[in-house]
Amino acid sequence: MSLRILLMRFGIAAAGGALVALAATTPAAAGDERGSAGPPNKTVKGQVTARSGLILRSAPTRGSAIIRVAPYGEIVKIFCRTTGQTVDGNRYWYLLTDGTWAWGSARYIDTWKTPRWC
């Protein structure tokens, strides 16, 4: 594994840790117009629906670095959602927390409930 990839993964993990710390110290806004997807600091489960596997990336775009490929049917933990590059008409991306802190297109992940906003 190259030094560049290791540094990129470390940066993603550090950014994810910062998101967790921020979420733990920031009070929830009352009446958030985007809606709430449950208690803060909780992940939402989803299942990969891409038959050939879902490419997980370093940013919510199709041109960003590939972190890994999640196989069809894998159950993933979703930390939050954001908007990004549109994939087959779907502009949402999920930040996955299952050891990689990588982004996956919501187009290919079925969720049990809607994840909160990042």
Do the bridges between strand 109-111 and strand 66-70 make them parallel or antiparallel, or are there none, so unpaired? unpaired
pLDDT tier at 65, thresholds 50, 70, 90? very high
Q: Where are the domains of the chain?
A: 3-26+39-111
Strand partners, 96: 78, 102
CATH topology of domain 3-26+39-111: SH3 type barrels. (2.30.30)
Nearest to 106 by CA among 7, 74, 115: 115
Average pLDDT over every residue of 2-14:
52
pLDDT tens digits along 81-100: 999 999 999 999 999 998 88
Nearest to 51 by CA among 78, 74, 68: 74
Strand partners, 54: 70
